[in-house]
Structure 1
Amino acid sequence: MITLFFYANFLIPIKKVFIQIYTMTNEYTTLTLRLDDR
């Protein structure tokens, strides 16, 4: 039970960071695609 709690505390921030990175990369790719279109 303690390990499960530890994993939850450890994984939730990593999940948030991963989502942030994912959104950032998506925005970057869309920007590059827009630049390529011109």
Structure 2
Amino acid sequence: MSEPSKIHIKLWGLSVSAEGVVAVVAAVVIVFALFGYLLVK
């Protein structure tokens, strides 16, 4: 596993950088979009 250069995420320690929050939000949005697409289909 390669260490991230700027993004340092500690989920268990709850110390997440702004980039980490944006990445998590984007991932959640994508997952919900996929589920919604599959449900509608």
TM-score (norm: length of structure 1): 0.65
- Aligned-residue RMSD, C-alpha: 1.8
In the TM superposition, residue 21 of structure 1 has moved relative to its aligned partner by 0.1
Structure label with greater radius of gyration: 1
Structure 2: gaps (5+ residues): 1-5, 7-15
TM-score (norm: length of structure 2): 0.60
| Greater RCO, CA 8 A, separation 6+ | 2
- Identity in percent: 7
Which 4+ stretches in 1 moved above 2 angstroms?
none
Between the two proteins, the alignment pairs up a number of residues equal to 27
